[in-house]
Structure 1
Amino acid sequence: MADVDVDRRKRMKVHDSKVKGALVLTNHHSLTAITDELVFGRKVSVQLISADYSESTGMGLRGKLGKETHLKNWLRLEGDSTFELDFDSEDEIGVPGAFLIINRHHKEFYLKTLTLTHVPNVGQLHFICNSWVYPEEHYNNRYRVFFSNQTYLPGRTPEGLRHYREEELEELRGNGTGKREEWDRIYDYDVYNDLSEPEQGSEMVRPIFGGTIDRPYPRRCRTGRPPSKTGEIYPNMESRIGIFESLNIYVPKDERFSDLKMKDVYAYGVKLVSQGLLPGFESLIDKIKDLAVGTLENVLKHKFESMSSNTFNEFSSFEEVLKLYQGGLTIPKSSFLEGIREKIPFEFFRELWRSDGEHLLKFPVPQVIKEDNSAWRTDEEFGRELLAGICPVVIRRLQEFPPTSTLDRMKFGNQNSTITEDHIKDHLDGYSVWEALKNNRLFILDHHDPLMPYLRGINETTTKTYATRTICFLKNNGTLKPVAIELSLPHPDGDEAGVISTVHTPASDGAKGTIWLLAKAYANVNDSGYHQLVCHWLQTHATIEPFIIATNRQLSVLHPIHKLLHPHFRDTMNINALSRQTLICAGGLLEKTVFPDKYALAMSSNMYKKWDFTKQALPADLIDRGVAVEDPNSPHGVRLLIEDYPFAVDGLEIWSAIKSWVKDYVFIYYKNDEEIQNDSELKAWWDEVRTKGHGDLKHEPWWPMMRTRDELIQSCTTIIWVASALHAAVNFGQYPYGGYLPNRPAMSRRLLPEEGTDDYVELAEYPEKAFLKTVTPQLQSILGISLIEILSRHSADEVYLGERDTLEWTADEQAVKAFEKFGASLRKVEQKIDAMNRDGTLRNRTGPAQMPYTLLYPSSGIGLTGRGIPNSVSI
């Protein structure tokens, strides 16, 4: 009897000890004003949901609910507000697995975390929420449910949580109809039918990309906006929102930028407009009478159309270009900016300082000219940047000579190269062409086939350029030497007649020397456009978005693969939506700063036809490009044919670290392949990625079946690699390399002068002037530099590879230890990169520009650093 009394007293003691809670809300503009009402007005209630005990309802079994409790005792901390909660334990529910929250206030708030203490048999329990909670009328069930940081495969979910798990996914999928509102949490697919403004005329119409064989494209987030007003002519085109509503374009609210990052975006926008656009408006100011927002939008569009005007002067010398970074180039103060400042309906022009404290109206010195402002002109630096520059993912091993074309001869005639052995034999360090091929010494930067189908149309715009092939020779010291550049134009007799081509070889003096410099510039123009539209936008931004949508629709937040991938999707949908609104749309900034102009997305779509998910894996990509071969004795399974290839060397270290982490993680939750095959959510996720997100390529045979742990590990490693390291490699070097326009011109405005003309004489007498008259003009240079400076910066709230934004991201200790191991391996990679960059024998690590390769260095500080791998495509 005494023992029974002791047990009874113990149980009573447990019941008397209430479960305590601390609910954290992140402060934002409206939270301070509503805090007292949240507490004293009992506007927010919380109920715990049992993971141990279920009760029968009309909807089946659900976890037993605890009693409703309300917020109390507001404690404001820096950046956050914490509210205390007491949970009665009269109705014992065991260990909570979720909680239900109802917002009866008229304002939304951002719920960060809930931490429970004194939980019986557990102690402390964390709920990582990071979500906006809107008033109850915006939800079908009037409540939101959040789960603890436990992890469950679908078949192992506690019975009481199954209903809530499935209900949450149904809500996130929506029904595929209706216009999406700011409070919606719906992830759905659509084609790229929102790039045109047909109301502005035919010049502002672009094709719809996605949904057809001719114009395939990855899917983007559906907004549900109504058709354009010209629905009878263009019935399938979605209407667009105004330029000053761009930051409010729909993505699920939890995908939107943080307040801190939004402040940076405002400030970046101010700089882009004030430095890149508004100076040119001064010549128009007398014509502008109405400064209303609608008129301003038309002025912006008109300015884009007038970029070829003589508002700005030409650069006449490289020294004048350098004044952009020395503060000596006069950019007139804009009364226009002052005039519209107070007429903008939101804080577009009020955030004049970024979070990194840097003044808005200054161009930093690009790294490529920081130590030597003429090294960019050398052939060695040109070759180095193919291996360690902003676009190191296109160079291929040349396996046949001369190069041939894969374009349809019936449509495009003979497009094979006209480069001969005589052109290059004196530049191969004693090798014959056959010997150089056999010994893996010849490589090619081939932009001929991707560009040629659009070149005739492109050259009918303000652009005048060539399709290029660049052949490089691998020297004994490990550097690449360009030995021939072929410049090709469509035949004047029509596409079926093939091309007319000229071949140019290295020269350093007189007109020939300037022509060689221009030939490298034309190759860089091709490379800049291909990089921006294919390697950067298509192969990272656009292809990742379907994985984000499918993950949120089909994998519960309780699913281990959702927890694995979720950090690598942060901010991507928001930046993609902004890109559709301002960059890749008809007349957008990208069309105005890279050479393909209105053919930009068409070229991107054409290259998507060749996209292969399995070849996005770094080792597979290197093998496919012929720059590596399989080698089971190598630490990474491949052997590089260019040993000093900084992108590939560092990339393989990062790839292997990611794959090791993913393998450790997957093996925690899946003990065998059968468990993969029995995972219903995983199957639905992968089916939807293939058949909907990348539906235009759903019949391709290369898609993994997703039936084994190895397939899951390889696929998740590839997704993480693309979203983090690959994007970092092709994004954050844009300003360090391309901020100095002569090094990476994005467009050309004239073809090579013919001998006997005044322009040809100028090549020899005034080479710098001739060069600058050919590449991007001054106003567009300022606009382009402003844009890539924005794209190359790290925000103040960036989270890098090997980091999480909260220590309590999972309750699984094995996963935490595996992640700590991953972080330690990345720190070792940093040490290796530092050591290689100090090794003078590795000439491609720094090159003539004395610019260490750090684009795949995992960590970074804020701002323009030229290093750092964010977890996700976040800018």
Structure 2
Amino acid sequence: MLSHLIHAVAGDDKGNEEMRPGKMKATVVLMKKNVLDFNDFHASFLDGFHELLGKRVSFQLISTESGDATNGMQGKLGKPAYLEDWNSSESSVVACGESKFSVNFDFDEEIGKPGAVLIKNHHHSEFYLKTVTLEHVPGHGRIHFVCNSWVYPDERYQKPRVFFTNKTYLPQEMPEPLRKYREEEMKALRGNGQGELQEWDRVYDYAYYNDLGDPDKGHEYARPVLGGSTEYPYPRRGRTGRPPSKTGEDPTESRIPLLMSLNIYVPRDERFGHLKMSDFLAYALKSIVQFIIPELQDLTNKTQNEFDSFEDVLKFYYGGVKLPSGPLLDNIVNNLPLEILKEVFRTDGEQLLKFPVPQVIQDSKTAWRTDEEFAREMLAGVNPVIIRLLEEFPPTSKLNPEVYSNQNSAITKEHIEHNLEGLTIEEALRANRLFILDHHDSLMPYLRRINSTTTKTYASRTILLLHNDGTLKPLAIELSLPHLSGDQLGTVSKVYTPAEHGVEGSIWQLAKAYVAVNDSGVHQIISHWLNTHATMEPFVIATNRQLSVVHPIHKLLHPHFRDTMNINAFARQILINGGGILELTVFPAKYAMEMSSLIYKSWNFVDQALPMELKKRGVAVDDDSSPNGLRLLIKDYPYAVDGLEIWFAIKKWVTDYCSFYYKTDEMVRQDPELQAWWKELREEGHGDKKDEPWWSKMQTRKELIDSCTTIIWIASALHAAINFGQYPYAGYLPNRPSISRRFMPEEGTQEYEELESNPDKVFLKTITAQLQTFLGISLIEILSRHSSDEVYLGQRDSKEWTSDETPIAEFHEFGERLSRIEERIVEMNNDKQLKNRVGPVNMPYTLLYPTSEGGLTGKGIPNSVSI
């Protein structure tokens, strides 16, 4: 109706499709705000009305060749040209939500070749500008701009928005008329470090993790500030500038209300796209936080919160489980929107919970309990980055003996030597046949505090033997507690060995469950959150602050930062915050993030490179006779085998790309943006680690290539390997319990008698409770899903991301290498000799299979830490 009214008043110019003399046509692809928010009629109406009043969207070309003497010799600006037919209902639709419009520029010989375009939005609301393409520029042909940015009304900016062509420039190669625009753009992205940031701000800046606690809500929700101290070092997060909490605890930033939890500040271009938001976050995650947690807190310690049998657990996936009754939950269910009921509760009117069947129990309901599968998941499960070679026996501790006294292992040769297939311990060590899953030193410093809550768990060490067929066999599990009389008296440990029958078999199953609880917590807090999400955010911030969008390293890395700041902001708001989902569902509870700070003290960027990480754990050694100079000590190690293929494919691509732009080491040293980027990463982004000697000096092409390869590996393949297997493996909580609520039953106690009479019930009463299970698997199902608009490794969301043909061709070759890796993964998964690739649960290892469809697939490597 509005468009008809406006055309009736202003007239409908049908001649715009034909080029008039002296005109130069551009095609603009964008998404209107009201297309992305169907309820925003207000924006649609006012934007149309502004068009009627002449408040339109203007474009001015900026010359690469001619400077303006009246403006500091910045590139000469052409005359404003305007976006045409904004209100037309006949605008060409080119993709989901995207429309194509025309702009006709006056041709100006003084402008010559345009290198940038200046845009002013005089509408009421913002729009998402995807591309601008100039057709038939005299003497230059087609010129393309990849924009991919939200453009707010011009009044929101101190200076108009400027977008550069897809040409790639090192700083010294930038045409002189464009250099000031390049500098001004980066200055805008850095901001001034002041004030609370608003949604239209484009500022990338650093802050400590001082927003996890909520002292205004009560002392029990206060949490220490992470970052900026030797006690609690941490990577930096994106600054929001919110005021301090009202309690007067000045270091703590105030928190936004829960009902506004999806509106936490990140630069608008870092927010999820509309498809991803509609896929799950707008409903699913928000509904869990707002509606499930209160019920969980109300019922978490009640007997009706227990599973009575494994059949009860299976009902989560086969048939459904009736929600616990109660007026609070009845009120929740009766008042939830239908979309939330469908997405999260999966209710059928009977208040039944039902989830997809996790892969780990699709073929067999019991194979997960075998020792072989327990060990296989250390190599091919959701946390395959902890197991290491055992180099000395018994295992020793690196904890300070002056504080913790003797923390060395109590496992003796009598515990394991009879299971070493005829070898002595010394022979097994020399043959590299003994391995360890060690969750002792990382947990012991916090174990006393952790167990003061409802959690009851142990530090653990698990010793394993490598069979001749490549599989691993657990030999012993050591469970340890701090001495009752104080840390200075050391540890109290008990060792358990494999058993299949009777109460001994039940105790062995419990021992494995305690190990799985530890591994689940370390996986979520360290392997997943700390080592990918948290450590990657400073790279996102520094890259946007110090490398221009036309810089080759910005173009190389930018796809690997997609959505990272957004998902991390959501995590700080509702997942890892005090009283958030992580604390409710993972055993370290309120000490989870504090414990991750302790582990960050030993974080080393150089060791995040896969070959270095494997060698550090002793599972790989240098070997010049191997194709990549590395030999795995466990040949059938699916994560390492597939990971090394991906790693060296990434490195080949990065080497080719960087070598195209940097012909010599001197060019690396003389690049001011690159040097500022690396300096800021060390001194600001990872400022608590700035004095570590392992940081490269960024003086050579090799250092640049190695660093960029590591960044891409962490953001893509490493994150994929430890994230997208969460639901396939841990969606069935008995396989990967995240909490233990009782200690091991002792002989002569009532709990021991119950273990003898009903071992399954004792097992289930020990691990994660029912409502915590529901909350946990609701979350990991969301986190394990690929969005429908995901972009995978070897892909880009724009085919014209650079105008340089050689990098485009090299990137195509990178994609072809990844396709060949996919074929090899399928072949290996079908090879019956490689027993760790499928295992007793008949679950092929596909977590490092590069591509995927949307949804819950258990495969696919997105370009970035995007979920």
Equivalent-residue separation in structure 2 for 1:743 and 1:90 (angstroms): 69
| Alignment check: 8 A CA contact 2:168 2:804 kept | yes
Q: 1:304 deviation in Å?
A: 5.2
Equivalent-residue separation in structure 1 for 2:820 and 2:839 (angstroms): 24
1:53 corresponding residue in structure 2: 66
1:30-81 Cα distance to aligned partner (Å, 9 max, x none):
57545644654342111000112222234x2211111101111341415212
2:288 corresponding residue in structure 1: 272
Q: How does 1:343-358 map to 2 (within 5 A)?
A: 350=339
2:634 corresponding residue in structure 1: 642
1:742 corresponding residue in structure 2: 734
| Alignment check: 8 A CA contact 2:621 2:631 kept | yes
| Alignment check: 8 A CA contact 2:47 2:124 kept | no
| Alignment check: 8 A CA contact 2:55 2:123 kept | no
Equivalent-residue separation in structure 1 for 2:553 and 2:390 (angstroms): 40
Q: Secondary structure at the match of 1:796?
A: coil
2:273 corresponding residue in structure 1: 258
Q: How does 1:58-137 map to 2 (within 5 A)?
A: 58=71, 60-74=72-86, 75-77=91-93, 78-137=96-155
Q: Write the letter of the residue equivalent to 1:187.
A: Y
Q: Secondary structure at the match of 1:860?
A: coil
Equivalent-residue separation in structure 1 for 2:797 and 2:718 (angstroms): 21
| Alignment check: 8 A CA contact 2:235 2:688 kept | yes
Equivalent-residue separation in structure 2 for 1:223 and 1:342 (angstroms): 36
Equivalent-residue separation in structure 2 for 1:766 and 1:351 (angstroms): 38
1:701-741 Cα distance to aligned partner (Å, 9 max, x none):
00010011110000000000000000000000000000001
Q: Write the letter of the residue equivalent to 1:68.
A: P
Q: 1:548 deviation in Å?
A: 0.3
1:20 corresponding residue in structure 2: 25
Equivalent-residue separation in structure 2 for 1:377 and 1:202 (angstroms): 41
| TM-score when normalising by structure 2 | 0.93
Q: Secondary structure at the match of 2:85?
A: strand
| Alignment check: 8 A CA contact 1:15 1:89 kept | no
Of 303, 314, 328, the residue aligned with 1:322 is: 314
Tell me if 1:813 matches 2:805: yes
Equivalent-residue separation in structure 1 for 2:642 and 2:55 (angstroms): 55
Cα gap change, 1:307 to 1:98, in 2 (>3 Å): farther
| Alignment check: 8 A CA contact 1:267 1:349 kept | no
Of 659, 672, 678, the residue aligned with 1:686 is: 678
Q: Write the letter of the residue equivalent to 1:466.
A: Y
Equivalent-residue separation in structure 2 for 1:437 and 1:358 (angstroms): 54
Gaps of 5+ in 1: 1-13, 279-299
| Alignment check: 8 A CA contact 1:18 1:118 kept | no
Q: Secondary structure at the match of 2:68?
A: strand
Q: How does 1:233-312 map to 2 (within 5 A)?
A: 234-263=249-278, 264-269=280-285, 272=288, 278=292, 300=293, 303=295, 305-310=297-302, 312=304
Q: 1:267 deviation in Å?
A: 2.8
2:56 corresponding residue in structure 1: 43
1:307-345 Cα distance to aligned partner (Å, 9 max, x none):
53317331111121111100232126998689679999x
Q: Write the letter of the residue equivalent to 2:579.
A: G
Equivalent-residue separation in structure 2 for 1:153 and 1:311 (angstroms): 65
1:740-774 Cα distance to aligned partner (Å, 9 max, x none):
01100001000011101221122222111111111
Q: Write the letter of the residue equivalent to 1:745.
A: P
Q: 1:18 deviation in Å?
A: 2.4
Of 142, 148, 154, the residue aligned with 2:171 is: 154
Of 406, 414, 419, the residue aligned with 1:414 is: 406
Q: 1:688 deviation in Å?
A: 0.2
Decide which moves more: 735-744 or 124-133.
124-133
2:8 corresponding residue in structure 1: none
Q: Write the letter of the residue equivalent to 2:262.
A: L
Q: Write the letter of the residue equivalent to 1:204.
A: Y
Equivalent-residue separation in structure 2 for 1:230 and 1:342 (angstroms): 37
1:714 corresponding residue in structure 2: 706
Cα gap change, 1:270 to 1:219, in 2 (>3 Å): closer
Cα gap change, 1:335 to 1:46, in 2 (>3 Å): farther
Q: How does 1:383-394 map to 2 (within 5 A)?
A: 383-394=375-386
Of 448, 466, 470, the residue aligned with 1:474 is: 466
Tell me if 1:172 matches 2:180: no
| Alignment check: 8 A CA contact 2:321 2:353 kept | no
2:789 corresponding residue in structure 1: 797
Equivalent-residue separation in structure 1 for 2:50 and 2:415 (angstroms): 78
| Alignment check: 8 A CA contact 2:333 2:341 kept | no
2:158 corresponding residue in structure 1: 140
1:204 corresponding residue in structure 2: 221
Q: Write the letter of the residue equivalent to 1:164.
A: Y
Tell me if 1:225 matches 2:230: no
Cα gap change, 1:332 to 1:20, in 2 (>3 Å): farther
Of 854, 860, 865, the residue aligned with 2:846 is: 854
Cα gap change, 1:387 to 1:611, in 2 (>3 Å): same
Tell me if 1:431 matches 2:432: no
Q: Secondary structure at the match of 2:321?
A: coil
Equivalent-residue separation in structure 2 for 1:658 and 1:438 (angstroms): 34
Q: Write the letter of the residue equivalent to 2:483.
A: H
Q: Write the letter of the residue equivalent to 2:640.
A: A
Of 686, 699, 718, the residue aligned with 2:691 is: 699
Q: Secondary structure at the match of 1:470?
A: strand
1:829 corresponding residue in structure 2: 821
Q: CA RMSD in A?
A: 2.1
Q: Secondary structure at the match of 2:116?
A: strand
Equivalent-residue separation in structure 1 for 2:44 and 2:783 (angstroms): 33
1:787-836 Cα distance to aligned partner (Å, 9 max, x none):
11111110111100000011111111111001000000000000000000
1:525-557 Cα distance to aligned partner (Å, 9 max, x none):
010000000000000000000000000000000
Equivalent-residue separation in structure 1 for 2:401 and 2:277 (angstroms): 50
1:623 corresponding residue in structure 2: 615
Equivalent-residue separation in structure 1 for 2:567 and 2:334 (angstroms): 26
Q: Write the letter of the residue equivalent to 2:100.
A: T
Equivalent-residue separation in structure 2 for 1:710 and 1:84 (angstroms): 45
Equivalent-residue separation in structure 2 for 1:338 and 1:116 (angstroms): 59
Equivalent-residue separation in structure 1 for 2:139 and 2:331 (angstroms): 65
Q: Write the letter of the residue equivalent to 2:427.
A: E
Equivalent-residue separation in structure 1 for 2:326 and 2:167 (angstroms): 56
Q: Secondary structure at the match of 1:73?
A: coil
Q: Secondary structure at the match of 2:100?
A: strand
Equivalent-residue separation in structure 2 for 1:354 and 1:553 (angstroms): 38
Decide which moves more: 545-554 or 75-84.
75-84
1:657 corresponding residue in structure 2: 649
2:199 corresponding residue in structure 1: 182
Q: 1:361 deviation in Å?
A: 5.8
Equivalent-residue separation in structure 2 for 1:636 and 1:849 (angstroms): 32
1:530-589 Cα distance to aligned partner (Å, 9 max, x none):
000000000000000000000000000000000000000000000000000001110010
Equivalent-residue separation in structure 1 for 2:333 and 2:842 (angstroms): 43
Cα gap change, 1:553 to 1:270, in 2 (>3 Å): closer
Equivalent-residue separation in structure 2 for 1:353 and 1:260 (angstroms): 18
Q: Write the letter of the residue equivalent to 1:681.
A: E
Q: Secondary structure at the match of 2:476?
A: strand
Q: Secondary structure at the match of 2:441?
A: helix
Equivalent-residue separation in structure 2 for 1:33 and 1:311 (angstroms): 56
